[in-house]
Chains A and B, each alone.
Chain A
Amino acid sequence: MTEILTETDPFTVAGVPLGSRLIMGTGGAPSLDGLGAALVASGTELTTVAMRRYAPGSGGGGAGTNLFELLLENNIRVLPNTAGCFTAREAVMTAELAREALETDWVKLEVIADENTLLPDAVELVDATEQLVNRGFKVFAYTNDDPVVALRLEQLGAAAVMPLGAPIGTGLGILNPHNIELIVSRAGVPVVLDAGIGTASDAALAMELGCDAVLLATAVTRAQDPVRMAEAFKHAVIGGRLASRAGRIPKRAHALASSAMEGRPDL
């Protein structure tokens, strides 16, 4: 099914076709082994990482023991993020470090306003997007579910806009489905629902609303059984995408019999 869907309905972002519409994050996993198994179960081909100081255990054991090499071994493209940045200046520097370290010009741009909400700071986000596009980056802009800002980011050259469903790590699902639909209806670049996903039905809903992909981490990495949850999301994204393409029935106020009354025996 996955293969059929990929052939008839490819997902292309920044000019690159991907075989899965599920983008994974890696935060919150207790071990690298468990994380690897969950990523494989999810079927993802694009996964985010954060950039931090090299510490013992980051991969000092040589080839094959660090996160970057885990992703390479599983043919998963790496999407470095700018998590923890509060200003455009910090975000641009982090993106440059990531490009140098990981040899990719893709970046998940995350510029947050404060540590309590982790909500994007729209002013810094717009500034950073413009700077990074000018420096040749493919910017995946993590943004509020604001249709106006989403359109601005696209106009500035973002490769994808990634509105949140709810604040990072909350698992509250999609708080404003109408805004997500509005963003999708006006977008000329892929829309990726990012953050707030709690369980499989949230991801299916995102796809039914017309999103091109879903990005999540916590919902898998902190689930009781991450591998099983990863597989659930794999199917949810495929199911939601198929439903969105299939054309759902309109909602009705009154019941509509699916069995004809005509020919009913007199009893």
Chain B
Amino acid sequence: MSIIQLNGAAAPLAAGTTVADLVAAVTGRAILPTGQPADGGRLGVAVARNADIVPRSQWSATAVVADDDVEIVTAVQGG
């Protein structure tokens, strides 16, 4: 089983996982191929893979590979 870093912690990686799969797993919301949530709301999430931003339109087409460092961020209280 391959390992990735997901939000700073080691996580197992199943073969064929895309960025969209990770976003769906982390947020608990189904993600459409456009990168929008299937529930019609606003997701408010961005993804960096190995310090490069993956635009939401590319989430479904972007494969995650072993040793990738993935950060999934959102808006929290602050400022």
Contact = CB atoms under 8 A, between A and B. Distances in A.
A binds B: yes
Contacts of A72: 42
A101 B27 CA distance: 13
A69 B77 CA distance: 12
B27 A54 contact: yes
Contact of A58 (B8, B55, B74): B74
A196 B28 CA distance: 38
Contacts of A79: 79
B41 interface: yes
B75 A80 contact: yes
A101 B76 contact: no
B45 interface: yes
Interface stretch (A2-10, A20-28, A204-212, A226-234): A20-28
Q: Most A CB atoms within 10 A — which of B8, B40, B43?
A: B43
Nearest to A64: B41
B3 interface: no
Q: Most A CB atoms within 10 A — which of B40, B44, B75, B78?
A: B75
Contacts of A183: none
15 contacts: A26-B78, A28-B77, A48-B78, A49-B79, A54-B74, A61-B28, A62-B29, A63-B41, A67-B76, A68-B75, A79-B79, A83-B79, A101-B45, A102-B44, A215-B79
A-B interface, 3 closest residue pairs, ranked by CB to CB distance from nearest: A50-B78, A48-B79, A63-B41
